[in-house]
Chain A
């Protein structure tokens, strides 16, 4: 588990974002692109999410951080439609999509890169991309553009997806999702099972993706990585929100306390209540 190194990363982030983005500054005018209200999700008897809420605005890179079992992946899978919530709702562009099947959400623009990549292993690289493009919305991403962005993929397009390395598979999985031309891209634990240098490279691709005006909601155990790329972070602990804010507005101590649920880490600084 990566130790939270918030201070370094947030300073870096603040430098990138510039002065106009002081603590908590979010484009909160207008409707959020994605909103989760009082979501409760159970796996059998176990309560994985216990009444959490979030609002993601267009163009944000919204990172959910938290330890194993905090409910991060459950949150993403529920937004994608793979789990049904016990209570609460998921709104997409102001419309309630809680009852919608995953394939219909994908066609409307909520597209997830699942944990563990989940490529179609008996299909070739190109066929994986073609499946991703089958139900695509209108948008900037085409298979040709993917090949222009990731040159190696064109050369290896006829290879079976199962033969690629982990990092290559993750890149194909992200490309497959991009080809649907999503409005919000859900990234579930991109770093899982990959070497740190590969993780760096994959997160390094994000700016290219965001150039297309994409909103990203990502889940990550690697806190320093999340703080580096995110414009907004949201920490979960046992299915509840413990901290929320911009990377610049939260201190390393706050993140550490919220992540591990240390005593005295009452959500005082940037609690869920501070959301309008």
Chain B
């Protein structure tokens, strides 16, 4: 029974990892930007939520209404300024720039918010409670909600990319940005829109993590970025549903590792990550473009 419990917990936490990973996958799939600041930006979103809640005393879930658009605007602005500037030079330059951004954000957070870890206190019974199946399986409502949110986000992204005008333009620009220009599309603006969408998912991931666990200035690179990378690579680059599969595989591997010995949790996840890299480098679902 303990093993079944581990698998269920792993699947559910996979939803959280998919929330981290889908934005990373989208930015790479469309702009070929590997955003090394991805995790730090999730932490920023979490801190913004903590700040918004402290100042306005609105319920946690309502903070999403503010934080997600704020992060989306930040994504558009960052893409149109420093990321586009780096892209105009070379793909390698984007690595340097996002690495620099990561360092700046991490140290900025340390400077202004100290190294203390903070959680996003929900105070909601729905979020802190759990239900039991049998005597050994206990499932937290929060993870179920986060998993459901991840599925909804992925469905929404898929619908946006396949059926909306901007989604179509994003895929066209990802295919051939020069041909898209010849059709009248300003690819810089389209990149900005894609970044805004990706940052919106980053905000959800950061807030969800803040509710599930604790955020501190180094969580972004230590945990979120690494897990997001692992989920993207396991699932398959450029595949949206691959990020969910990758997240689930990573989560299950970690929970099974923890079942063997609590100190093996993270190690087990990365062993699976490494195994996929060696045996199936294109990922479990090899990529149709973003869908």
Contacts and interface: CB of A to CB of B under 8 A. Distances in A.
Nearest to B291: A122
A148 B165 CA distance: 23
Interface string A90-129: 0000000000011100110001101000111111000110
Interface string A116-155: 0011111100011011101110000000000000000000
B84 to A, nearest CB: 14
A157 to B, nearest CB: 14
Contact of A131 (B180, B186, B288, B289): B180
A120 B175 contact: yes
Contacts of B174: 122
Nearest to A122: B289
B288 A122 contact: yes
A107 B185 CA distance: 9
Contacts of A177: 182-183
A124 to B, nearest CB: 10
Q: Which has the most chain A C-beta neighbours within 10 Å: B175, B179, B180, B187?
A: B179
Q: Which has the most chain A C-beta neighbours within 10 Å: B165, B175, B184?
A: B184
B171 A120 contact: yes
Given A82-B178, A114-B178, A134-B165, A122 B171 contact: yes
B176 A180 contact: no
Given A118-B176, A120-B176, A122-B289, A106 B168 contact: no
A102 B168 contact: no
A103 B168 contact: no
Contact of B182 (A111, A122, A123, A130): A111
Interface in B163-211: 165, 168-169, 171-172, 174-176, 178-187
Which bucket holds chain A's interface residue count? 20 to 34
Given A118-B178, A122-B289, A180 B171 contact: no
B183 A106 contact: yes
B181 A103 contact: yes
A166 B182 CA distance: 20
Contacts of B172: 120, 123, 127-128, 131
A249 B175 CA distance: 44
Contacts of A112: 182
Contacts of A135: 183-185
A114 B179 contact: yes
A107 B184 contact: yes
A80 interface: yes
A176 interface: yes
Contact of B183 (A82, A101, A122, A131): A131
17 contacts: A80-B182, A102-B178, A103-B181, A103-B185, A103-B186, A114-B179, A114-B182, A118-B178, A121-B175, A122-B175, A123-B171, A123-B175, A127-B172, A131-B168, A131-B180, A135-B184, A180-B183
Interface of A: 80-82, 101-103, 106-107, 111-112, 114, 118-123, 127-128, 130-132, 134-136, 176-177, 180
Closest 8 CB pairs of A and B: A135-B184, A106-B184, A122-B289, A118-B179, A120-B175, A102-B181, A120-B172, A107-B184
Given A102-B178, A120-B172, A180-B184, 11 more contacts: A80-B182, A106-B181, A106-B182, A106-B184, A118-B182, A120-B176, A122-B289, A127-B168, A127-B172, A131-B183, A134-B183
Interface of B: 165, 168-169, 171-172, 174-176, 178-187, 288-289
